[in-house]
Structure 1
């Protein structure tokens, strides 16, 4: 029996009721947002109501980013701004923030707030110690380490002042596993994890700051790694609880490849789900952490 004054909602009314989207109206900046994990993060956040700024670097990514932006706008009724900015250029991060402000600032008050920043853009390159060159070092450290610093510097004046901001850095299991050939790349990701902990303290009144550490993910970057490097990863894949291939569930190509690789890689949407969790209101009590986003390839602690 219903309580006095209480009317049970019919299933029809529930079906027609607008669904709450947890990031409705938030503004998220995603670097490297044109493909792979970045595009998957963009899709996830847009589905939750966030407006997006999608950064890309090369001219060859322009059409892809424009197409993704149009698709997300149409599907999720959000605003999406593609911005070409070379984060390896010291002026690139500031240009990205300035362009976003020009698009999203309130037309009358000029108010502009960045709620979410996902530092996803990165470059990788494996060289044995005696093959490391200054150019290889500078390229990876400029994009993987310096660019997030410069982006946060440009963004700080526009972050919330009530701890509601969210910053998520894309690290890697390479930060702590010491793979052969990753003197430079592994070092950049270890630096990013250290910066995550420092920023969590420095920006505590503005935003939470966390990192995620993917392992092998089915993206262009993973497919470009050589057989020798993939063999280094096989023992970790074999012991990862969630990387065992599933016949009839996982794409057949990964099932077929599992005997050589040890199991299946992660999928970009699985990484995006962990990032989105850290961008939510429910993650307000989590900061300065590296969160496992690799199926148990490398446990976080």
Structure 2
């Protein structure tokens, strides 16, 4: 399928499952070749399935890049894997970089551990910095590149138990503005701030925390369920959450808009991707 990013290369971190996989599918549908990054052996089968489906449906290349981007050598390894597959006539260029990989690690104040914060910061903030830095030599020189950082609604709402997650995603939003200035001749740099998404992300969270989610979801105008449109299981799940989570393709679509050529006049912004759960003035 042809599209505005036909034939360009997109690198997506944390792309074997959930939003990352949806992002890979969405960009591939627009014609981009994709590099699917993931870290653990447990994710290999899922990553292979995503890649196979993409290549079968969209007639683009989907390459797997297993490497831990929280390590010192991981970011450079990711770029080198991409380079080894997508260099043509001595030329290699990264048109799109999506810093999507992240971890939550919820814990109330008084029980946050040093190791929990360290691990959260390593993936949510430090890894995007060094992945982006490793990509700089291969970004376009005409401002046509696109970098999108996946942040979170929690940075704006003071969400319970989220010192690690909101704190590190807030750091990512701050760096987004820095990179928008420093990389302006290469790429636009923006963030999105999703809220609840249909990924099973709430399945392992404490009941006390789930109960607090209700009032926040209830305030998101687009989280109201729609009889005859939303799936019955979504409508049922929404009753306990105050509203439905976002479908992954809804959030992926917002990223797709930011990656389009028409988005060349927006940079350094945090774009709402949460159904109106947080409304910000840019």
How would you bin the TM-score normalised by the shorter chain? Answer: over 0.9
Residue pairs, 1:251-290, within 5 angstroms: 251-290=231-270
Q: Deviations over 1:239-278 (max 9, x none)?
A: 2110001122112122123332111111111110000100
1:212 shift after superposition? 0.3
1:20 shift after superposition? 4.0
1:296 shift after superposition? 0.6
Residue from 76, 83, 92 that aligns with 1:101: 83
| Aligned twin of 2:72 | 90
Determine if the alignment matches structure 1 residue 30 to structure 2 residue 17.
no
| Aligned twin of 2:58 | 76
Determine if the alignment matches structure 1 residue 55 to structure 2 residue 37.
yes
Give the secondary-structure state (helix, strand or coil) at the position aligned to 1:237: helix
1:117 shift after superposition? 0.2
Determine if the alignment matches structure 1 residue 230 to structure 2 residue 190.
no
The CA distance in 2 between the partners of 1:20 and 1:92, in whole Å, is 32
Give the secondary-structure state (helix, strand or coil) at the position aligned to 2:34: strand
Question: CA RMSD of the aligned region, Å?
Answer: 1.1
Q: Is the 8 A contact 1:28 1:50 kept in 2?
A: yes
Q: Structure 2: which 5+ residue stretches go unaligned?
A: none
Give the secondary-structure state (helix, strand or coil) at the position aligned to 1:129: coil
TM-score by length of 1: 0.91
Residue pairs, 1:187-206, within 5 angstroms: 187-206=167-186
Give the secondary-structure state (helix, strand or coil) at the position aligned to 2:63: strand
Give the secondary-structure state (helix, strand or coil) at the position aligned to 2:240: helix
The CA distance in 2 between the partners of 1:243 and 1:161, in whole Å, is 40
| Aligned twin of 1:10 | none
Pair member with larger Rg: 1
| Aligned twin of 2:3 | 21
Determine if the alignment matches structure 1 residue 211 to structure 2 residue 191.
yes
Residue pairs, 1:87-166, within 5 angstroms: 87-106=69-88, 109-166=89-146
Determine if the alignment matches structure 1 residue 168 to structure 2 residue 129.
no
The CA distance in 2 between the partners of 1:52 and 1:100, in whole Å, is 9
Deviating above 2 A after TM superposition, structure 1's stretches of 4 or more consecutive aligned residues are: 220-227, 257-260
| Aligned twin of 1:241 | 221
Q: Deviations over 1:83-135 (max 9, x none)?
A: 101112121111000111011111xx311000000000001111112111111
The CA distance in 1 between the partners of 2:90 and 2:97, in whole Å, is 20
Give the secondary-structure state (helix, strand or coil) at the position aligned to 2:36: strand
Q: Structure 1: which 5+ residue stretches go unaligned?
A: 1-18
TM-score by length of 2: 0.97
The CA distance in 1 between the partners of 2:233 and 2:62, in whole Å, is 33
Determine if the alignment matches structure 1 residue 181 to structure 2 residue 161.
yes
Q: Is the 8 A contact 2:238 2:245 kept in 1?
A: no
The CA distance in 2 between the partners of 1:228 and 1:276, in whole Å, is 35
The CA distance in 2 between the partners of 1:84 and 1:52, in whole Å, is 14
The CA distance in 2 between the partners of 1:169 and 1:251, in whole Å, is 29
> 25-34 or 219-228, which moves further after superposition?
219-228
Q: Is the 8 A contact 1:254 1:263 kept in 2?
A: no
Q: Is the 8 A contact 1:25 1:51 kept in 2?
A: yes
1:223 shift after superposition? 2.8
